[in-house]
Structure 1
């Protein structure tokens, strides 16, 4: 079927897109919370944190007894130190960090729990977003027809081919799952997680994320002719 329709304005498209992103985020968080309960994520994360806190306390106690310096002071207490005291504190803090790393690396519990926390975080994030995308960007548009998500339905936008032919379910699946999920959402999310867990430099991650945002903006503008109202 061919429709005689008009191009949707950029403002309409942006508004519909923003609403869809909000709904995806809300639903994804719900799915992730459910997966968290199933996998006992909180239990593993608490065990992971306890190992770190235990190592910190061990190192703090060691340096207090052996060197007479308290590495557990607050930021306010640190600011009140003199320049020479700060220099001494920083030197011991560097040594303490190395000691703490060695303690953690020698702990089988830490290695196990840290690996589980990272794996579960990636799994819950990817699966949660996938399920949210599947529902909101594929199942609902198939039900609404014309490629309409909830955001597009609210703002009266339909997605179709440039020749006016309605988008078929297979095309919607490729667009939403292979396109939006894999490249537009999961790549930035994975980069963010890698930055959070320290496996990727913050500077490099930020540069990549900015580049992705610029690319997405360029694609958004260049494809304005394929969205109709």
Structure 2
């Protein structure tokens, strides 16, 4: 059984095999390494296969006797056919990938129910914005005095936390950065420090805007129609 399986494998693939390669390919048949070694020895002795030695390594090849020898023209024709088949295979793979991508996009698309819910949510958002805009045009007060004071208090608290943290960081950085070479911006980027400048904001600018807005509240003005 092992001898027939080994011979069939070598002949079918028509390429060199080592013993371990034969064992790996015959795992599903349950043929162990000792049986494979015994089979190749018997096949070599009977002349059904050829054994080539490369140092301590033995390679077993199928006999090439009786095989058809292609002419130069036939060989070129086979190469051209192989090239064409390869191009067809590549085109098929590309089409399959495109089809898979399209299928994934459809699977990720919203269902009809999800679309209806989205439309409803957007409609409600639009109505709320329109109502807010109408109130602004009519000159109505959209924010109560208590709400404004609460917002101002929260803003001042946030600004104070910002100021303290900037001060603490600056003190620590000045203490540890003495003697460090390189641009400060490059060092900040390397160690992951997010600066005000990188975020596109400055403490002074926000504070100035807040003070201007606070002064503006004392001088209410109507919104033009």
- TM-based fold match above 0.5: no
Instruction: Report the structure number with the largest CA radius of gyration.
Output: 2
TM-score range, shorter chain: under 0.3
